[in-house]
Structure 1
Amino acid sequence: MIRTLRGAWSRRGTLLPLLLLTVVVVAGAVAVLGFADAAGTSQLLAAPLLLLAMVAVPATGRELAIARRPEIALARLRGLDGGPLYAVLALEPLLVLLLGGLLGVLGGTALAAVTAEAWVGDAGTPFSSAAVLATFAIVLVGLGAVLVGMVGAVREPLVDQLRLAARPRRTSTGEAFGQVLIVVAALVAAYRSDVGSDADPDALVLVGPALIGLAAGQVGVWLLRGAARLAVRRTAHAAVPAFLASRRLARVADTATALRVLVAAAVVAGLAVTGATQVDDWTSDTARLRAGAPLRYDLDTDATGALALVQRLDPEGRWLMAAVLVPGEGSVPARRAFLDLSRYDAVLGDFYTATPAAGLSSTVALLGSGTPAYAAGGRLSVTVAGVSRRLRGELHPTVDVTYRLPDGTVSSVGLQAELPLSGEPVTTVLPFDVCPQGCEVVGLTLRRAPGDIRLPWVLTDLEVGGLDVLDLDLRSSPTAPTRVATGLMVSTRRAPAEATVGPAPGAVPVLATDTASWRDGDPILDSPGGEDLPARVVARLPALPLVEGDGLLADLPSAATGAPPTVPIAEVMVLARADTPDDLRDALADVARAPRTLDEVEQQVSDASGAAQALVYALMALFCLVAALLVLAAAVARERGAWIRDVAALRVVGLGRERIRAASVVEVGGLLVVAVAASLGGSAAAIALLLGNLPLVDVPVHAVPLSTAVALAPLLALAGIVAALVAIVVGRGRRFGADGSRPAILREQAQR
């Protein structure tokens, strides 16, 4: 064991990348699994990280075998071969993998507890049995991948194993097959995502982002090699830096694996960041549509009571709005919402501006807005006046107000006044406390008392429980009073003048979602009381308040006037602005349930839909980027010695350091362009093909769909990160000084 530890310490530069990579992979897997156990999210979100590790680890195994080539040759000369030789070689990486697994478990467990507490408020049990199995699986698979990487070096001829410098390695048939297999697997993953089940995607779809990233990186490497080989012929007689850079780019053997892993990690990160952005936007939009307003107060009453309550508390219509949601099932039009649209601009304003219902502000005027015909007790006040002074006779104007109680009972109350000969206005007040919870004014009758002189008179003001009846829409009819500048005038006819409250009969204008359709042809709107009303769709929007992605929206006073009592399944509420005065909030608290704020609704939407999965996926993508950075740094470090020898050899033949540096800049630039282009292309493809089918969020029925559009800003930021990583890591690996690359080092290395 001591000999093994000494050997591992002597090869610590080769084993350190394997240790760090194991720590990152195990920590990422344990963190994702621990969070999944606490929050009930998918445990398979760590699949891309595991796939990238399986691709990256064999390179470390190959480098470890190369570092032990003389030892392998000596063992073979002593007759040790086959399984016993692999057992000896596997001991060091096994110890490193176990140590990395232990450190990863500790870090991943702590991270799982922190993220679960921060994102779902429940730390749970961060280290579960699934995490234990995953850790052992990662260690065993990692050991197998290391041994796979050693196969090529172990099977080399003894002459090559005893050679001091490694010969340029060509792509083997197995490696070429694996490269093609990655591209094919990416295509199959895209196909499976398109035809598979959104609710339960298979494992190939879950690793699809990493496969598409690896395929994009591989295609980029192929194009880079092809372009470089073509450039070698074109630059044979051109500038030396271009020729040298083309030669090196045409032989990107070790860097190719690191480049593929970096591109794959960037694609996973691009998909994760876009997904997290879209899920966050979806959660915010859904919460706004579901809440209806910054504050929502649910009531145990019907539409009549809600309208009357709002009219009593906020007669100016600045803070409160009555609303009704009927979450009907069976068809999209059965879901309908009703708002008091006369208060829309004051109460809601730009509340829906950034949501799929953004067009509501410009189309809500098409629905019209009726004045709510609802009163809530108090008093009955009538003001009447004569048309002119009269010379004789008595005139006793009588006003009968017909109203409907919440239980559907229709009743009336009358009041009689006496006009003086001068015809001056007279106000008469009568207590009106028959409907403290609100009632609907449905009509009024204006007449004279028996024996009165047949002269016209005018109803100049009629207030029922704080409701100005003269502001209501009155249906025209042959018996209706004449509307004049000062009010309603009763003519000289003997018959009473009768007026019915409500707009003229006709189709009710509604807004519909894009999904709404009627099987029987003509649009129908079910009123809050369940009465079928002919409807007219004035506009369609992707989403509407309260009904979200499926349903209809209409004006509440217009649809509820004359309707039966509100159906039992209806949700009656008062919507309020965020800056509603405290006195109004206190008054609502006395008659309504506890208010639901927008933040509370958003948290409920996030918890119910598992939106935290998108954050976990982004966290996993961060681990992928860290792993890719380790792989890239290890690959550049492995090439560092050969690169310095190449520089020294070039200086032997008289090539200056400036030209060599210029060639390095061109080489780094070529790798940078390929990495950025492949990352952007792969990310766009993964977003378009896979984002909609990954289990990042559970979109409920009737909700607006999750957008799968490419978010430009995150991808550009990601491209900048990839470019910076390539420029810094590869550029630093290509730096050399005058002493470190002097030609004499070739002789010194040959004498060792």
Structure 2
Amino acid sequence: MIRTFRGAWSRRGTLLPLLLLTMVVVTGAVTTIGFAQHANTSAALAVPLFVLGAFAVPATGRELAAARRGEIAIARLRGLQGGELATLLAVEPLLVLLAGGAAGLVLGSAGSWLATAVWTGGPGGLPGLTAVLAGLGIVAVGLVATMLGMLSALREPLNLQVSIASRPHPAGTGAIFADVLIVVGAVVAVYRSGVADPGHPDVLVLAGPALVGLAIGQLVVWLVRISARLAVGRTANGGLTGFLGVRRLARVADAATPIRVLVAAAVVAALALTGATEVNGWTDDTARLRSGAPLRVDVDEDAVGALALTRDLDPDGRYLMAAVLVPGEGSAAARRAFLDTGRYAAVLGDFYADTPAAAIADQVDGLGGADSSVASGDTVTATVRGVSARTSGVMRPRVVVAYLDEHGTDQRAEIGVELPLTGAAQTGSAALTGCDGGCVITSVTLARTRGDRTLPWVLTALDFGGTDAMATTWKPAFPGRFGQPGGPVVVDEGLLAPASNRPLVAEPLSSGPKMPVLATPSVTFDGRPQLDSTGGDERPAQVLATVPALPLVEADGLLADLPRAAAGAPPTVPAAQVMVLARADTPAALLAQLTDAAGHDPRTLTQVDAAVSDETGATQARVYSLMAVFCLVAALLVLAAAVGRQRSAWAREVAALRVVGVDLATLRGSGRLEIAWLAIASVLATVGGALLAVRLLLAHLSLVDVPTHSVPLVTGVAAWPLVVAAVVVAGVVLVVNGRGRALHPDRTRPAILREEGAA
């Protein structure tokens, strides 16, 4: 055991990356799975980390085997083979994997507790048995993968294994098959993403981003090698700096291989950042549409009561606005929202500016325009004129106006006028009751006082609570019988009551004033457009515009003006949600008055946003980003381990070239050219792979469960995640490889060749 620890310490430069890699993968897996158990999100989102770990650990195993070539050769010379040799090789990585797994379980438990506390707003929770078993499984699989990575050293001919330096050799059939399998797996994952259930992606679809990144990385590795081999001939007669740089890329098979894992991790990270950005934007849009305003206070009133409450508390209309949501489930047209649109600009302003409902700002003024059928005054005035040519005598006509008050109750107002027969006009008035929230006229009756003369007369004007009721199109309420007229005659001046003792009733045409509405694309009508009012009665409607989303109803429904819809409507339907919307800067005193009157506390946009995140599982997009960070760290360790092993080979190569007279400036220039070549290839691969992954896979990963009626999650390419991923990859390649190539002149002196040969 002491010999084992001594050997491990002597190879700490290679074993440390394996220890850290195991710790990172286990930590990421336990954190993700533990959080999923407490937040009810999908634990399968950790699949890309497992895929990258499955490729990163064998790569580290190969580095470990390369570092132990001499030890393996001596053991084989002493006759060790088979199980004995495998046991000798397995002890060190097993100890390292167990230590890394234990540290990963501890850190993953802490990460799960912290993520649960921060992103769910509840108490932190430790991971369950599933997360622990996943961590132990990673250790077991890591040991097997490490041993598989060391097989190349066990199969290497003994005469090559005892040599001082490792020589490049062509890839074996198994390695080529694995590389091709990666590309095929990426293609299959993309195909599966297009045909699988979008709400329940399978493991292959979830592994798609990592597979696409690995495939793009592998293609870039091949292109780097091929282009370097072609460039060797072109630079042979040129400068020595370029020739040495491309020759090393062409000869050293492992120079670009670690880039594959780094590119894959960067692709996963770019996709995760893009997804998190779009999910956060979708969550914010959904919360704004669902809440209606920065502050929302539910009230136990009907629609008219909410209107009266806002006008009493905020008569200037600066901070409060009444609203009603009827969440009809029968169809999209049954879902309807009503806003006091006269206060929209003051209360909401640009609240919906960056949401799918932004277009309503240009249309909202059309919802609250004048309507001749809606009255809000307290007096009805009728003007009548006789059509007789007599010079003496009077008539006593009566005008009876039937209407629905603000509560939808039938009311009547009767106006009596003493009209001279000379043809002069006379005016009479009567009081209107219950019209503060709006009244709707239902009929006008032209009657005579009992015993009065049956002479014709005309209703020339009717001011109904401040509106011109005569602007409405009228029709007889019932047809005439036995030669008697059934209703007044519509003439240019108004309504004519011909010679008749029967009351003549006129009603507004149903196709008269239409309720202007905004609709979502999902709304369809059977026949003419109709809008159910706050009380449920049908009103003829006119669709002003179609917009992707509307406040309160989100992606399915209609939006109309509340005062116009509530005017003359029956009592508000029980299913309606009546509320008062308020600005974020509403004075505290006014908000306190509203809260006391409503009996409910205000609900902030932040609270609605948190509720949407919990309902849709949007927090898993953040966990996906966290998992992508673990992927990047794992890729960094793989690259660092590979560069660390190549460092000694680079030192020997520089020493050998110095023997033949190549100066250090030329050698450093060739190293910089090689690093620049790798950095450019890595950046191009990262950007290309990220574009493919986002366009082909992001929409199928089901990062959120989009509820019914909500706006869809629209996925697309975002610039800044690509830039961040490209900058990170370029920085990692330049720093890690640059550090590996930065050797002090004393460490590359020609004498080290003699010293290694003597050793």
Structure 2 length normalisation: TM-score? 0.86
State yes or no: 1:147 paired with 2:129.
no
State whether structure 2 residue 545 is matched by structure 1 residue 539. Answer: yes
CA distance in 1, matches of 2:658, 2:108: 49
Q: Check the 8 A contact 2:209/2:693 in 1, yes or no.
A: yes
Once the two structures are overlaid, the 10-residue window that deviates more, 614-623 or 321-330, is: 321-330
Change in 2 beyond 3 A, CA 1:541/1:429: closer
Tell me which of 542, 557, 565 is aligned to 2:563: 557
After superposition, the C-alpha distances for 1:656-698 in whole angstroms (9 at most, x for unaligned) are 1111122112111111111111111111111111111213211
- Give the secondary structure class of the aligned counterpart of 2:363: helix
Match of 2:472 in 1: 475
The answer to whether structure 1 residue 703 and structure 2 residue 710 are counterparts is yes
Please state how far the C-alpha of 1:203 moved relative to its aligned partner: 0.7
Q: Which residue of 2 aligns with 1:485?
A: none
User: Cα deviation per residue 1:139-169 (whole Å; 9 max; x = unaligned)?
Assistant: 1100001100111101112111211111113
Deviations 1:256-306 (A, max 9, x none): 331011101101100111111001000000001111111222233333333
Q: Distance in 1 between the 2:111 and 2:165 partners?
A: 43
Counterpart position of 1:73: 73
Contact 2:474 2:508 in 1 (8 A): no
Partner in structure 1 of residue 522 of structure 2: 515
- Identity rate, percent: 54
Distance 1:340 1:714 in 2: 41
Worse overlay, 88-97 or 328-337: 328-337
Cα drift, residue 553 of structure 1: 2.0
Q: 2:17 corresponds to which residue?
A: 17
Q: RMSD value over aligned CA atoms? A: 4.0
In the TM superposition, what are the counterparts of 1:352-751 in structure 2 within 5 Å?
A: 352-370=352-370, 404=404, 408-412=408-412, 440=439, 442=441, 469-470=466-467, 475=472, 505-518=512-525, 520=526, 522-581=528-587, 582-583=589-590, 585-587=592-594, 589-591=596-598, 593-751=600-758
Question: Which deviates more, 98-107 or 64-73?
Answer: 64-73
Tell me the residue number matched to 1:389: none
SS state at 1:170 partner: coil
Q: Which amino acid aligns with 1:273?
A: L
Aligned residues: 729
Aligned mates of 1:297, 1:167 — CA distance in 2? 75
Q: Is the 8 A contact 1:263 1:678 kept in 2?
A: yes
Is contact 2:405-2:440 (8 Å) kept?
Answer: no
Question: CA 1:480–1:656 in 2, change beyond 3 Å: closer, same or farther?
Answer: farther
CA contact (8 A) 2:262 2:632 kept: yes
Q: Distance in 2 between matches of 1:509 and 1:252?
A: 73
Per-residue deviation, 1:534: 3.9
- Other-structure match for 1:263: 263
Indicate conservation of the 8 Å contact 2:34/2:109, yes or no. Answer: yes
Matches of 1:559 and 1:439 in 2, distance apart?
A: 9
Question: Is the 8 Å Cα contact of residues 446 and 490 (structure 1) preserved in structure 2?
Answer: no
SS of 2:574's equivalent in the other structure is: coil
Contiguous gaps of at least 5 residues in structure 2: 384-392, 419-426, 476-487
Summarize deviations over 1:328-353 as a string: whole Å, max 9, x none: 22432222222232222222221110
Does the C-alpha gap of structure 1 residues 550 and 460 become closer, same or farther in structure 2, counting only changes over 3 Å? closer
TM-aligned CA deviation for residue 116 of structure 1: 0.7
SS in 1 for 2:697: helix
TM-score (norm 1): 0.87
| Partner SS for 1:590 | helix
**Cα distance change on mapping 1:435 and 1:530 into 2, 3 Å:** closer
Worse overlay, 365-374 or 711-720: 365-374
- 3-state SS of 1:99 partner: helix
**Match for residue 390 of structure 1?**
none
Unaligned runs of 5+ in 1: 386-392, 419-425, 463-467, 483-488
Which residue is 1:120 aligned to? 120
Q: 1:244 to 1:193 in 2, by over 3 A?
A: same
Q: Is the 8 A contact 1:402 1:412 kept in 2?
A: yes
How far the C-alpha of 1:591 sits from its partner, in A, is 3.2
Number of the residue aligned with 1:186: 186
Amino acid in structure 2 at the alignment position of 1:556: L
Residue 233 of structure 1: how far off its partner (Å): 1.6
Distance 1:470 1:234, change over 3 A: same
Secondary structure at the aligned position of 1:509 is classed as strand
User: 1:10 Cα deviation (Å)?
Assistant: 1.6
Cα gap change, 1:428 to 1:549, in 2 (>3 Å): closer
In 2, distance between residues paired with 1:402 and 1:17? 88
Q: 1:692 to 1:318 in 2, by over 3 A?
A: same
Question: Separation in 1 of the partners of 2:98 and 2:242?
Answer: 46
In the TM superposition, residue 507 of structure 1 has moved relative to its aligned partner by: 4.4
Aligned partner letter, 2:696 = L
Checking the alignment, whether the CA contact within 8 Å between 1:472 and 1:502 is kept in structure 2 is: no
On the 8 A contact 2:249/2:255 being kept in 1, the answer is no
